[in-house]
Structure 1
Amino acid sequence: MKKYIPLVPLLIALAPALAPAQELKVALIAGKTGILEPYAKETEAGFMLGLEYLTKGKMEINGRKLKVIVKDDQSKPDLGRTMLAEAYGDDKVDIAVGTSSSGSAIAMLPIAAEYKKVLIVEPAVSDAITGSKWNKYIFRTARNSMQDGLAAAATFKQGSVAFLAQDYAFGKDAVKAAREALQLTGSKANIVHEEYAPQNATDFTASAQRIFDKLKDKPQPRVLQIIWAGPNPMNKIADMKPERYGITLAPGGNILPVLKTWKAFAGTEGTIYYYYNFPKNPMNDWFVAEHMKRYKTPPDMFTAGGFTAASAVVTALSKAGGGDTRKLIAAMEGMEFDTPKGRMLFRKEDHQALQPMYHFRIKKDQKNEWDLLELVREIPAAELPVPIKNKR
């Protein structure tokens, strides 16, 4: 007599083995509306391209499907906090990335600690994020203000420097970092003035004249460094003819639509986080070619930042074997990961990504609408001694 095993209990017993692996969830928070909208759109595009490249188009990690939940914080700190809490609490994401505004990013940091979940900061740059406001759940792929400052300081050897920056967290933090960077690099340049204007300012007449008055009689070279997020005031400052006082402009890096407006300043030098034609590696080659194919433009600064954050996410989730926070932190401290700029490393002490920067010159002979900058030199991470300030 044959013995039959009931089918229903057998299927129940096999169910765990037959069930598909639980998907991995990632939140991307960006200021998709508001003054930093162009940055946010670039970040999202780069993030999705990065995930596609790194997962070979499968959008899965270790056999688990990857789901991306995109949220708009409008670059508002209170909304940033809410969006991140929703991502961790309601959406149950394993890891989050964000955001465009330094003010909003700083507001989000305690939420990561409250929910005990990892937050990768991209592209906000305020030093406080990996400094005084840091907690162990925070990692940053974006460069910080000090890296910007150290890169610029490498080009200021002597003379007199003034700053024009926005009157909020990003601008003030950047100028503070620039001051410290000049000291750290041993530069003999002297800072003679700091000028802050509203974040959405359009008239720079009074600000520029105050800067000119402070600089015009100081030792040469006389440099005005412009640190600005969003529509850049360099053209308006240039219209006031700072060269009358022997003053040259030193712009920080900016997005391609802004760089296109600087053609009249051939020979002007500055420093930048990323320019599509500078890094030479297979990942960047694919990135540039694919972005040109899809968007008819080269990838930009924040597109590269989004791609970099995607690389950190994929590398971390792969190494940790999933979204367990303790395993993620253990995997990410000291973790190296490939990016369009080359290999980066999360410093164990403060989780800041160490990375190169670029010294550029605006081209005189521009062969096409995107042939804008020439590389003076890559400034390696080893030449950017970013202080550890998180008091871990």
Structure 2
Amino acid sequence: MRNTVWAAISLLACTALAQAAPLKVALITSKSHPAFEAYARQTEAGFMLGLEYLTQGTMMVEGRKIVVINKDDQGKPDMAKALLTEAYVDDGADIVVGTTTSGAALAMLPVAAEMKKVLVVEAAVASDITGKFYNRYIFKTSRNSFHDACAGAAATMAPASLAFLAQDNVFGKDGIAAARDCLSKMGSKAKVVHEEYAPPASTDFTAPGQRLIDALKKAPEPRFLVVAWAGSSPVNKLANLQPGRYNITLVPGGNLLPVMKGWSAYAGSEGSLYYYYDFPTNAMNRWLVAEHKKRFAGTPPDFFVAGGAAAASAVVQALRATKGSSDTEKLITAMEGMNFETPKGTMTFRKEDHQAMQPMYHFRIKAKDKQKNEWDLLELVREIPANQLPIPVNNKP
């Protein structure tokens, strides 16, 4: 009898120790990538701020201390694969979050499947992550190309002629294909008359810009030249070609705050974007804005800070739902269909493909004389609810 009692006590003690073991979360970003360093650093800042908010500063979930392991894949697919394997095998990561670029994220997907471990994708955008190359271990908090495209379509329902300039990479091509699909599905009367793709490192946009203008100037008015570009925007260089001579309006896509500061010259132009600090009105966003301003010299949180915080929320909410267990099957069961609070409001992991469904925003650019401060750049036309964005499920044969 005594041996039985001691065995039971020993088992309880071991169980308590196991539950108290640190929860290891690896965060993989592309901090050394020259074009996306800012995105990566914002994601990291947002992830840590999100964990702080959600745990009330304790960094504890269900009795387990969260330990974050940061890794830099430099935006290289091979390195991303290697670092993900390292995180799961050598570091013993319970969950991994990453990465910044779509090419690197796509390379990581088979590793998660092979290891049978959860990978939360943030901030890569390509729709193929939860589409053609989906596997059940992938949960994507970042928007995908169809969020951008369908939000853009929602902001452009009236008759218009559109031409697109995008990067010649996965992000650019995926985005424009999605734009065509959304315009059609949502019944927009706008028509795409031309597309141009330029290398991501381009500095001279004279030739593609002129081709865009030549195509648009023959098309029915109103005429819009839409720029879908990650990183430093070519909008001002396109403006030097004077498209206004042909009643062509430049439409900058959503971008980082420092980039958007130069947009007052396009006051009145409208577009759509993932996040702007002044648009959401929920408690998490209010805290994030206030804390980011305190810690980062008065600057509000940017695009990818919100994304990092959303990923943190998904991790914390999943662990709360599993009572602190990081068992893969328990996590998947908890996360499929899971609602979680973010700076944008409630997101939901769709059961079919694990894409986080989320609102987007239709904005109008403010004139300089209407801005209250250097970061008062946009006004909200409307929030576009998640249920008004027909994001397709593309992971079926």
The offset of 1:13, in angstroms, is 8.3
Write the distance in 2 (CA, Å) between the matches of 1:13 and 1:174: 54
Write the distance in 1 (CA, Å) between the matches of 2:344 and 2:14: 42
Write the distance in 2 (CA, Å) between the matches of 1:326 and 1:104: 25
Q: Secondary structure at the match of 1:377?
A: strand
Amino acid at match of 2:30: G
The offset of 1:188, in angstroms, is 1.6
Structure 2 equivalent of residue 302 of structure 1: 304
The offset of 1:272, in angstroms, is 0.7
Write the distance in 2 (CA, Å) between the matches of 1:282 and 1:28: 25
Amino acid at match of 1:267: G
Amino acid at match of 1:125: V
Structure 1 equivalent of residue 252 of structure 2: 251
Correspondences of 1:294-333 after superposition (within 5 Å)? 294-295=295-296, 296-321=298-323, 322-333=325-336
Q: Secondary structure at the match of 1:248?
A: strand
1:352 aligns to 2:350 (yes or no): no
Amino acid at match of 1:353: A
The answer to whether the Cα contact below 8 Å between 2:224 and 2:250 also exists between their aligned partners in 1 is yes
The answer to whether the Cα contact below 8 Å between 1:256 and 1:300 also exists between their aligned partners in 2 is yes
Correspondences of 1:16-165 after superposition (within 5 Å)? 16=14, 19=17, 21-34=20-33, 35-156=35-156, 157-165=158-166
The offset of 1:16, in angstroms, is 2.9
Correspondences of 1:103-252 after superposition (within 5 Å)? 103-156=103-156, 157-252=158-253
Correspondences of 1:279-298 after superposition (within 5 Å)? 279-295=280-296, 296-298=298-300
The offset of 1:179, in angstroms, is 0.6
Q: Secondary structure at the match of 1:150?
A: helix
1:343 aligns to 2:341 (yes or no): no
The gaps in structure 1 that reach 5 residues or longer are 1-8
The answer to whether the Cα contact below 8 Å between 1:251 and 1:271 also exists between their aligned partners in 2 is no
Deviations 1:80-116 (A, max 9, x none): 1111111111111111111110111011110110100
Closer, same or farther in 2 for the Cα pair 1:219/1:40, shift >3 Å?
same
The answer to whether the Cα contact below 8 Å between 2:225 and 2:249 also exists between their aligned partners in 1 is yes
The answer to whether the Cα contact below 8 Å between 1:166 and 1:228 also exists between their aligned partners in 2 is yes
The offset of 1:19, in angstroms, is 4.0
Structure 1 equivalent of residue 395 of structure 2: 390
Closer, same or farther in 2 for the Cα pair 1:13/1:341, shift >3 Å?
closer
Amino acid at match of 1:138: I
Paired residue for 2:378, among 352, 373, 380? Answer: 373
The offset of 1:250, in angstroms, is 1.4
Closer, same or farther in 2 for the Cα pair 1:328/1:362, shift >3 Å?
same
Deviations 1:178-211 (A, max 9, x none): 0101001111211111100001111101110010
Q: Secondary structure at the match of 1:67?
A: strand
Closer, same or farther in 2 for the Cα pair 1:100/1:13, shift >3 Å?
closer
Amino acid at match of 1:379: I
Write the distance in 1 (CA, Å) between the matches of 2:102 and 2:12: 49
Closer, same or farther in 2 for the Cα pair 1:159/1:323, shift >3 Å?
same
Closer, same or farther in 2 for the Cα pair 1:276/1:261, shift >3 Å?
same
Q: Secondary structure at the match of 2:26?
A: strand
The offset of 1:368, in angstroms, is 0.8
Q: Secondary structure at the match of 2:104?
A: helix
Fraction of identical pairs, as percent:
62
Closer, same or farther in 2 for the Cα pair 1:56/1:214, shift >3 Å?
same
Q: Secondary structure at the match of 2:21?
A: coil
Q: Secondary structure at the match of 2:255?
A: coil
Number of residues of Structure 1 aligned to a counterpart in Structure 2 = 386
Amino acid at match of 2:337: G
The offset of 1:12, in angstroms, is 7.7
The offset of 1:315, in angstroms, is 0.3
Amino acid at match of 2:308: G
Structure 2 equivalent of residue 5 of structure 1: none
The answer to whether the Cα contact below 8 Å between 1:308 and 1:339 also exists between their aligned partners in 2 is yes
Closer, same or farther in 2 for the Cα pair 1:17/1:378, shift >3 Å?
closer
Question: What is the TM-score normalised by the length of structure 2?
Answer: 0.94
Structure 1 equivalent of residue 268 of structure 2: 267
Closer, same or farther in 2 for the Cα pair 1:200/1:60, shift >3 Å?
same
The gaps in structure 2 that reach 5 residues or longer are 1-6
The answer to whether the Cα contact below 8 Å between 2:226 and 2:251 also exists between their aligned partners in 1 is yes
- Computed over aligned residues only, the root mean square deviation of the Cα atoms, in angstroms, reads 1.8
Write the distance in 1 (CA, Å) between the matches of 2:201 and 2:380: 31
Structure 1 equivalent of residue 3 of structure 2: none
The answer to whether the Cα contact below 8 Å between 2:250 and 2:266 also exists between their aligned partners in 1 is no
Write the distance in 2 (CA, Å) between the matches of 1:99 and 1:341: 20
Structure 1 equivalent of residue 4 of structure 2: none
